[in-house]
Structure 1
C-alpha cells in the first residue's frame, strides 16, 4: 500500500482575490509595470485505490499554480508560472514575466479579452464537505467486493479509484477584471477484469461524477461495470468488411473530441486543422446533425463559468443542420477572425484553445435522419461500438483519418455477441456524411451529451 501526502506553499487557506489584487497592483507599480493579468488555481485532492479488499494507494495533496502575464511598453508579452503565492513569490513572478516580455513574439500578441468584465451566468454547483480518506477507503472496498461478487469470472478490479476535490480558481487583470469560482467534485471508476479457462481475459468499466462523494452513484457504477464486463465474456471473431456501425454516446463523443481541431480557431491559424478560414458556412456533415459546445450544461460536473482569459463560458453552435457555424476562440484568434471570444481559452503567451463539453444530436425540425432505429431489429448485421482505444495513436487529426481498436458487439437477429478483437477505420469527414440517424435518448456522459449514432459503410477489420 502506498500512502502519499504532498503540499504546496500558499494553499490550504484558499485564494483571496482582493488581497492578490492589492499586492499585484502595488508590486506592479513599484516595478513600472502598467499592464498585467493573472490566472490562479488551488485545490485539495484526496483519493484512494484498493486491491482485493486492501488499500493499494491513499493520496492527499494540496496544490496551487499561478500564471502571470506582463506587457512591456512595446506591447510584447512575457509569461511566468509559479506555485508560490506569497508576496515574495508574486514579486519574483512579476519580475520574471517583465524580463521575459523582451523576448515576446511580436507576431502573436494576446490582449485582454473584451468580455473579461462581462456578466457571468450563475451556475448551480453546491459545495460539498469532504468525507475524508478513511470513509472513501471503506466505500471503495465495499464497491470492489460487490463488483467481484457479480460473476465468478470477475477475478480482479485492477483499475479503480474514488476521489474528492475542493478547488478554486480566479482571473484578475490590471483593467479591473475579477473572476473567482469555487467548486467541489468527486469521482469513482471501476474497471473489472474477467477470466475463464481457455478464454482470453475480458475487461470493461464505468465511471461516475458528482459534486460530492456522498452523491456519487456507486451502485450504478457497479451495475454498469459488471454488465459490460459480463457481456464481453461470450466473444467471437468478426469477419473483415464494411458494416453499419452504431456508436455508443461515449465512443462517438471520444471520436469527435479527437477531431476537435475541426472547430479550433488556433489550429486553423496554425495550419493543423482540416478546416480553414473559409470553412464557416460550409457543409461539414449530414443536414440533420448538430454539434454544440456547452460547458454550462447542468450535466457537466466541474463546469467553469469563465475561461483562462476571464471570458464567460457559453453555449456555442459548432455545427447546425450539418453546416459549420462557428470556431472555438480565444481573444487573439477572435481578433484575427473579427469575432468575439467564445470562452474556450487557456492562459499563456500563445493562448491555447479547446472545447468544454459537447452536445450532439439531431437538428430540431430536421427529422434526425432515419426514424425508429433499433440495432436489435436491424435486418443486416450491425457492429455496436461501445468504446474506442488508442485515440492518441490511431487518430491523425490534421489528415482526418483514424484507425482505432474498439470493444463492442456484433448484433444479428436481435442477439448481440461480443467481438473478440477488431479495428474500425475511416475518414472523419466521410463519417460525418455517412450518419444514418440516431437511436434512443441522448445520454449525459463525463464528456458530453449524445445519443447512439448510426453510421453506414465503415471499414471493420477483424481476426476472422
Structure 2
C-alpha cells in the first residue's frame, strides 16, 4: 500500500539534500488479472503487478525537469529526483508548468470501497460459461472470437512541496463478449457488448450475453443502403464517441496551441441547439474511473461545458488556467508539458428547455438511419477542422422495421451536427464514456457500399 505521508517525508528530505525547493510526484500501483477463453478452454491468463512514478522538479531558473520510473523504494525515489534535477537544466522557459495552487485545497473523498479480487480460476469458469451461453443463443453464432474478463485493484498518490498529500484507492472489473455469426451465402456478421463494475460481482453477465446475441442476430439480415442525406439517430455510445473525438471544443490546451475549433473569445457563443447541455463529471457515481483529483492534485468536480447550447467553460490545467486568468478545473495530466483531457461526459436536456421533438421514436420511424457504433475514429476524424467520415454499424428503419446496413459511412461537421439536433429520445444511458440518451440529428450524409 502506498503511504503518502512516508513518501512525502522521503521526497522532502531528498529534495532538501539536492537544494530543491519545488517538486511534485505522482505515483500509482495496481494488481491486474485478466482471462480469455476459446471454445470452452482457457486461452490466455494474465496477471501483473504494475507501478509507475513520475517526479518533477523546478530548478533555481524556473526550468522543469521530469523523470519516470517504476521503483518506489527510497533508492528509486533518490535516483528519480536526481534524474529530474539533471533534466531541469534543459527545461523550456517559454511555457513552464507550475504547482497547482489548488493542490492543497480540502478534498472530498469518493465514497467507494475497493472490492476484493476473485481467484483467476473462478474468472475462467465464469467466462467459459458466458461463452457457451452466447453460442447457444442462435445456431448461426459459431464463435466468440473476442472475449475477456478482467479485474484491477489499485491506488494512486499525488504529493508536492506545497504540502499536498493526495491518496485514493479503487477497483474495477470488465467483461466483453464479441460474437461472430454466419449464414450460408452471406457475409459473416459480428457484434458485441461490454459490462463494467467496481468488481466482478457487479458485472451483469447475462445482460452482456443477451445484448451481444441480440445485436449479432440483428445484423444477419443485412442489405445495402442508397447513398444520400438521412435523418440519423445515434446510440448513446456512438454520440459520446463523436463528442469525445471533438473534445478540443472545450480544451484550453488545444485553444492555446491553435488546434481547437474554439478560440479564447468563444466562451458565451451559441454552439448547439437550446435544449442541448453537456457536463464533464469525473465524480459521477456511474463513472468507474472516477477520481477525486487530477494529475496536478487539483480537486475534480462536475463542470458545465455547454449549457442551453452555449459554450460556458473550458477544461484547464494549472498552466492554461494561469494564462486565461481562471482557476484550474481538475483535468490535467502530469508532464513537462501538461496535457488536458475530459473525464466523463454527461449529455442531457437543458432544464426547462424540453428534449426537442417529443414525437420522434426510433421504433416507429421511417427512412431513418439508426447508428449503433462508429469505427475508425483515429483515421476518420479531422479534429481541428470539425469534419468526420466514419464507418458505422447500424440499421435503416422503414415503417418501424429495422434492417441491418451492409456497409456505410456517415459524414458531416460536428458544428453543424450540434446545430441540427432534433431531439433526445428516452432516458439517458450509462456507458463506459459517459451518460447520454439516444440523439436525433437531421441531414447527415450516408455513403453506401458501391
Normalising by the smaller structure, the TM-score range is: over 0.9
Q: Is 1:164 aligned with 2:151?
A: yes
Partner SS, residue 297 of structure 1: coil
Alpha-carbon distance, 1:372 to partner: 3.1
Q: TM-score, normalised by structure 1?
A: 0.96
- The equivalent of 2:416 in structure 1 is 430
Distance 1:166 1:366 in 2: 42
Contact map agreement 2:364 2:401 (CA 8 A) in 1: no
- The equivalent of 1:11 in structure 2 is none
- The equivalent of 1:90 in structure 2 is 77
Distance 2:345 2:289 in 1: 14
- The equivalent of 1:387 in structure 2 is 373
Distance 2:202 2:386 in 1: 40
> How many matched pairs?
450
Contact map agreement 2:355 2:425 (CA 8 A) in 1: no
Partner SS, residue 255 of structure 1: helix
Q: Is 1:308 aligned with 2:281?
A: no
Q: Is 1:131 aligned with 2:118?
A: yes
- The equivalent of 2:405 in structure 1 is 419
CA offsets per residue over residues 46-87 of structure 1, 9 Å max, x none? 000001111110000000000000000111111010101111
CA RMSD of aligned residues (A): 0.9
Partner residue of 1:372 out of 356, 359, 366: 359
Q: Is 1:71 aligned with 2:58?
A: yes
Partner SS, residue 341 of structure 2: coil
Partner SS, residue 91 of structure 1: helix
Alpha-carbon distance, 1:368 to partner: 2.1
CA offsets per residue over residues 404-438 of structure 1, 9 Å max, x none? 00000000101010101010001110111010011
CA offsets per residue over residues 95-152 of structure 1, 9 Å max, x none? 1111111111111111111111112233231221110111100100000001011001
Q: Is 1:408 aligned with 2:397?
A: no
- The equivalent of 1:154 in structure 2 is 141
- The equivalent of 1:275 in structure 2 is 262
Partner residue of 2:210 out of 205, 223, 233: 223
Matches within 5 A, 1:176-325: 176-325=163-312
Partner SS, residue 327 of structure 1: coil
Partner SS, residue 375 of structure 1: coil
* Runs of 4+ more than 4 Å apart: none
CA offsets per residue over residues 370-404 of structure 1, 9 Å max, x none? 113202223x4000000000000000100110000
CA offsets per residue over residues 226-270 of structure 1, 9 Å max, x none? 111111111111011000000000000000000101111001111
Distance 1:105 1:24 in 2: 24
| Runs (5+) with no aligned partner, structure 2 | none
| Higher deviation after alignment, 382-391 or 24-33 | 24-33
Distance 1:130 1:311 in 2: 30
Distance 2:189 2:331 in 1: 38
